[in-house]
Amino acid sequence: MTTVLKCLQARYTVNLFYTNAGCSLVALNPFQPISCLYSPELMREYHVAVRPQDLKPHIFAVAEQTYRNVQSQIDPINQSIIVSGESGAGKTWTSRCLMKFYASVAASVTSPKDNETVERIEKRVLDSNPVMEAFGNACTLRNNNSSRFGKYIQLQLDRFHHLSSASIQTFLLEKTRVAYQAPSERNFHIFYQITKGATAEERLEWNLPEGADYCWLPNSERNLDEDCFEVTRDAMFHLGIDRSTQNNIFKVLSGLLHLGNIQFSNPLDESQPCELDDKIKGEATNLLKIPVEELLDSLRIRTITAGKQQQVFKKPCSRAECETRRDCLAKVIYAKLFEWLVLVINESIYADKSAWTSFLGLLDVYGFEAFPENNLEQLCINYANEKLQQHFVAHYLKAQQEEYAAEGLQWSFINYQDNQNCLDLIEGNPLSIFSLLNEECRLNRSSNPDLFQTRIEKALSDNQCLSRDKFSKKPNFIISHYAGKVCYQLEAMVEKNKDPIPPELILVLNQNNVRTQNRAAVVTVVSKFKGSLENLMQILNSTKPHYIRCIKPNADWYVDTTREGTSGFSLRISTALSLLWLLYNAVTQ
């Protein structure tokens, strides 16, 4: 193991960032622009090479091999490149470079008419990146440009293997970030782009005076490359979002910033709704286009129907409830906006199924996460990583066995503990953490984390992957994941899974043309996530997979000029090792 790591380090010090490792390409993040590493000339070199695999290991070698597999028409024709790794390891960068590669090599057509189509599509596919990143990425403790959603992009090729269209599927946007940013982190980039990049005229129209303070815009004094508004606007325009629609979007975003400034205070008379500052409430409602009184009632007053006669009562919400409702409104609006953007992007890059015959899929999902406090978001993300790990191991072992068989080598089974136990614990039938979470929601139990902890332990204590931090005062459970143990806090987990929208807010939003589901139709977060992941796994299983494992090198290997005070590498090592031990086993067989 040490040898493998030393080898990677030695290569890193002489600017060799890519290393072939069995069926994977290991990609170490250089953390600095390396001239010519992604130049059009280099793309061409890999594209025209007789045997690209004989050139230096590179993401372009993987990309070219994948493209040739499609051309060969050998089953499975469709291909997937699974880009994985922890936050900041370089997945998004890699995916972007792969898209540029395909946009370049799949554009070599002769007819001027076709050429126009291909150029338009490839430009739009590339333009989808800055737009999705502006609305879906944010500066976190680990990465200035961290993707807060997962994505699978299908680049669709016609029968001449030219790029004819594309489609994007997204997973679980971290919408809580709109209303809550952890210390030293930021909101989504787009909010900083509009506040820093709006013209004087726009500032007036969107009500964004220069230097104004917004509670939901922390750390705005930090200027990042990602703050460039012009790039996002131009990309949106090329994707068919005209200036007037853009204007409406930015007004809504500005409205959300003002909504975040609404602070409630307890009224002197408890029978009255919470009080708030008149000036601020006017600004938020003007921009969100919701009548002031309607908005305020929905945030501050609960409607209760009770008794045999189904009498309707109005009850003022507590200050904390008002704040939860305010945040919920912001999350729903932002999530709907993101959903709409993905739809518009897809409409602008998609072609009817008859126009394409094969596809190359690029998967860029959030890596394994283990923070001091973990909740439903980390559970979903780590569940996705377990699924992908299972997919990788199955493919890796199969490929290895085929290679041994082809070479006539003797081999015996390696003692690999697969992660099925862990997956059963999270999502298995009939009993699992997901099913218990859904049961709590279905029965509409008042969420008591202590009781829920007891229920989990009673139902799932047979599973060896489950344990608990007995020294913690907070109710929790620990899952032994393939990449390490993670302790999840149960406080608010059931509520997060319900993701409830108060009926009063649904009414206001529906009246204002923001379609939301009513209570009866609500699907829990884990059910929705599990469904979309199963759908993804089905697609992946029908394709030939290729793996690029991105690794963030240890802090003392490089100087990161983009961040101040970057530190910590224990997870990096463990992430790297979870992959490398498999390869090590293979080498030493």
Ligand X SMILES: Nc1ncnc2c1ncn2[C@@H]1O[C@H](COP(=O)(O)OP(=O)(O)OP(=O)(O)O)[C@@H](O)[C@H]1O
Would you tell me which residues interact with ligand X (CB under 6 A)? Answer: 29-33, 85, 87-93, 143-147, 366-367, 550, 562
Minimum CB distance to ligand X, residue 240 (Å): 26
Minimum CB distance to ligand X, residue 89 (Å): 4
Choosing from 88, 136, 150, 255, the catalytic residue is 88
| Closer residue to ligand X, CB minimum distance, 38 or 452 | 38
* CB of 99 closer than 8 Å to CB of 152: no
27 is in an annotated binding site: no
562 is in an annotated binding site: no
461 catalytic, yes or no? no
561 catalytic, yes or no? no
Strands 311-316 vs 24-28: parallel, antiparallel or unpaired: unpaired
| Closer residue to ligand X, CB minimum distance, 85 or 502 | 85
- Tell me which residue of 215, 223, 229, 236 sits closest to 330, measured CA to CA: 215
Choosing from 29, 66, 92, 447, the catalytic residue is 92
544 is in an annotated binding site: no
90 is in an annotated binding site: yes
| Closer residue to ligand X, CB minimum distance, 24 or 92 | 92
Cβ contacts of 316 within 8 Å, gap of 6 or more: 267, 270, 271, 272, 273, 274, 300, 301, 302
87 catalytic, yes or no? yes
Tell me which long-range contacts 254-257 makes (C-beta under 8 A, separation of at least 24).
254/194, 254/206, 254/207, 254/208, 254/287, 255/284, 255/285, 255/286, 255/287, 255/288, 255/289, 256/178, 256/191, 256/216, 256/288, 256/330, 256/333, 256/334, 257/191, 257/195, 257/208, 257/214, 257/216, 257/217
| Closer residue to ligand X, CB minimum distance, 264 or 547 | 547
User: d(Cα 154, Cα 362) in Å, to the nearest integer?
Assistant: 6
Cβ contacts of 428 within 8 Å, gap of 6 or more: 435
Structural element, H or E, at residue 511:
helix 503-511
| Closer residue to ligand X, CB minimum distance, 33 or 183 | 33
Q: Which amino acid is at 143?
A: N
91 is in an annotated binding site: yes
CA-to-CA dists, residue 496 to 222, 376, 440, angstroms: 31, 7, 12
354 catalytic, yes or no? no
88 catalytic, yes or no? yes
369 catalytic, yes or no? yes
Distance of CA 436 to the CA centre of its chain: 25
Both tokens of 440, joined, read: 């709590």
Minimum CB distance to ligand X, residue 576 (Å): 14
* CB of 368 closer than 8 Å to CB of 419: no
* Range list of β-strands (E), 142-251: 146-147, 150-157, 163-171
| Closer residue to ligand X, CB minimum distance, 147 or 358 | 147
136 is in an annotated binding site: no
Minimum CB distance to ligand X, residue 102 (Å): 17
Distance of CA 247 to the CA centre of its chain: 26
Report the chain's C-alpha Rg in angstroms: 26
* CB of 175 closer than 8 Å to CB of 181: no
Choosing from 174, 283, 369, 427, the catalytic residue is 369
Choosing from 19, 66, 80, 87, the catalytic residue is 87
| Closer residue to ligand X, CB minimum distance, 32 or 420 | 32
Catalogue the active-site residues: 87-88, 92, 143, 146-147, 367, 369
Binding-site residue set for ATP: 85-92
Instruction: Extract the annotated binding site.
Output: 85-92
